[in-house]
Amino acid sequence: DIKTIAMIGCGSMGGGMAQLFAENGYHVALEDPSQDQVQAVLVAAKASNIPSDRFSKHTDYKSLCEALDSPKVFFWSLPHGGVGDKVLEGLLPYLEKGDIIVDCGNEHWENTERRQGKCVTKGIRYVGCGVSGGYQAARRGPSMCPGADDETLALVLPLLRTVAAKDNNSNPATGAVGTGGAGHYCKMIHNGIEHGMMSAISEAYTIMRKGLGMNLDEIGDVFEQWNSKGELQGTFLIWISRDICRTKNMEGKRVLDEVEDKVVQDYTGEEGTGVWSNLEAVERHVPAPTLTVAHYLRIASGDRHQRAQIQKTFGTGTGDPNKDHTAAFPPEELDVDDRGKFLEDLRMAVYTACLAAYCQGMLIIEKADKEHHFNINYVELMQVWRAGCIIQADYISETLLKPIYDNRDLKSESSNPLLHQHVASDLKRGFPSLRKVVASGVEADHVIPALSATLEWIKYMSSTTLPANFYEAQLDYFGNHMYDRKGDDGKGLPTQGKHHVEWKAA
Ligand code: 6PG
């Protein structure tokens, strides 16, 4: 029965979780290189009336380990990469067989598995646990996505269940997701899905603002309606979008209007989940354009200076990123007869893009699971995403996806969501609205990468008459790539074609 835990890394996430554990009766031994961070946790805990004797402060691993019972349980909230390796090196001399490390950072799953391999030789248990929901959820109850061997998961899940967010039925948003680095793998893809959904919603915002001339109060009301009923009900990102529209600063002005159009993705060190999830999609040959184009928008936006320079070259700006707030192709008002009807199309378009992002993410996870043997329990994974996390979307995860995994005979039936009638019919149902929104948006020069890429994805994933015949002919022309003749495709396996001709005009 675990009563004492250590929290290594007491920033906003670790600090929030430390208070959450203490609030739930655990003694929490705090360790962080910054004493200010540790102090901030104690101050915040006091303000929440958490008894101060539930905490102890430590500046070295020896005293930290002495404060723990056996087995020693460590929660980590650290930046990904080398930091975790250093912390593990530092801890190892004090660790014993049976001790448990729960790594709650956004760590790369291969780092997790490497450390699991190192720890297992010493009988130490290492859990890679994706934690979602941001700093507020870390304090109130996050979504927790753990991966490790079954025995280790059985030991830590009671702790995770205590602190994890609870869904509408009071079930915790955690579960035995899979073995090895499965927890961090799924969290990485969660973040890819997150970015696809965020882009689609941001695109809808700008269509409403610049395309329909709506003010922020009106847009906030639309997001509130979308979140309150129908397919987007219980979608965390739609809910916070309402608040983003309504939040004002001290002078009564909208905070959103002071935010620059720039989302930086650090690439100088180790990139993080946004980059990794897209690399995974490409490397595992899974078309995931909703995720990928959202990421391209992010990285293009990050270099605002370059965009200003390009705009100048296009002859529409001064080249000064601080002065220019325009575009070479400025988005215009949309030609819309019936605003109410168009807003309904926009809602369906956003829903369809969010569903597509989910499907694409699940396709990546499933492929990785097959190739890497994560033994993912998809029902548990859906439960992890039912509360507390950024991609929480009740209708998608509970009504559409969970039944696929609930009823699936693992050996005979594919869990590819697109092969399930009820998911396919929702994508089909959303398609006309998405097409209308994309067509109107394109016509008026709006920036709509996630919406338009989703439209294309639905088209090409559901077609057996792609322009790829011409693509293949070009490859055969210059590369002797070989092509399949119509009807040659056998069992549908992605094998190299069988025919080649010398493509010379007679
Ligand atoms: C979450 C978020 C969270 C966030 C990361 C990544 O689930 O709570 O995904 O993990 O997105 O901080 O941020 P970057 O994308 O900037 O690396």
Q: What is the pLDDT of residues 89-120, one digit of tens each?
A: 999 999 999 999 999 999 999 999 999 999 99
Give, to the nearest 10 degrees, the angle between helix 449-461 and helix 421-443.
130
- Span 188-374+386-461: which CATH code? 1.10.1040.10
Residues of the chain with CATH 3.40.50.720: 4-180
Instruction: Please state the ipTM of this predicted complex.
Output: 0.95
Q: Which two tokens stand for residue 372?
A: 């890497």
Atom of ligand 1 nearest to the CA of 137: 8
Per CATH, the number for 464-506 is 1.20.5
C-alpha distances (whole Å) from 122 to each of 85, 94, 97, 448 are 16, 12, 6, 51
Residue range 4-180 forms a domain whose CATH class is alpha beta
Q: Which residues contact 399 (CB under 8 A, 6 or more apart)?
A: none
- Residue to probe by mutation, ligand 1, list 191, 270, 384, most atoms within 8 Å of CB: 191
Q: How many angstroms separate the first and last alpha carbons of the chain?
A: 82
Cα–Cα distance for residue pair 331/210, rounded to 1 Å: 7
Q: Give start-end residues of each CATH 1.20.5 domain in the chain.
A: 464-506
pTM (predicted TM-score) = 0.96
C-alpha to C-alpha distance for 140 and 482, rounded to whole angstroms: 58
Asked if residue 274 has its Cβ within 6 Å of ligand 1, the reply is yes
Q: Measured between alpha carbons, how far is 124 from 273 in angstroms, rounded to an integer?
A: 26
CA 31 to chain centre: 28
pLDDT of residue 409: 58
Mean confidence (pLDDT) of the chain: 95
Please say if 248 is a catalytic residue.
no
Angle (CA) 291 238 361, round 5°: 25
Task: Report residue 414: phi and psi, to 5°.
Answer: -75, 145
Where in the chain are all domains bearing CATH 1.10.1040.10?
188-374+386-461
The tens digit of pLDDT for each residue in 304-337 reads 999 999 999 999 989 999 998 999 999 999 999 9
pLDDT digits (tens, 9 = 90+) for 426-472: 999 999 999 999 999 999 999 999 999 999 999 999 999 999 999 99
Give the separation between CA 174 and CA 194, rounded to whole angstroms.
18
Instruction: Give the residues across from 143 on adjacent strands.
Output: 132
Mutation probe of ligand 1 site: the residue of 106, 240, 264 with most atoms within 8 A of C-beta: 106
Task: Give the SS3 label for residue 31.
Answer: strand
**Whether the CB of 134 sits within 6 Å of ligand 1:** yes
**pLDDT above 90 (res 143):** yes
Q: Return the pLDDT at 491.
A: 73
pLDDT band of 408, cuts 50, 70, 90: low
Q: Which residues of 416-434 are buried (b: 16+ CB within 10 A; e: fewer)?
A: ebbebeebbebbeebbebb
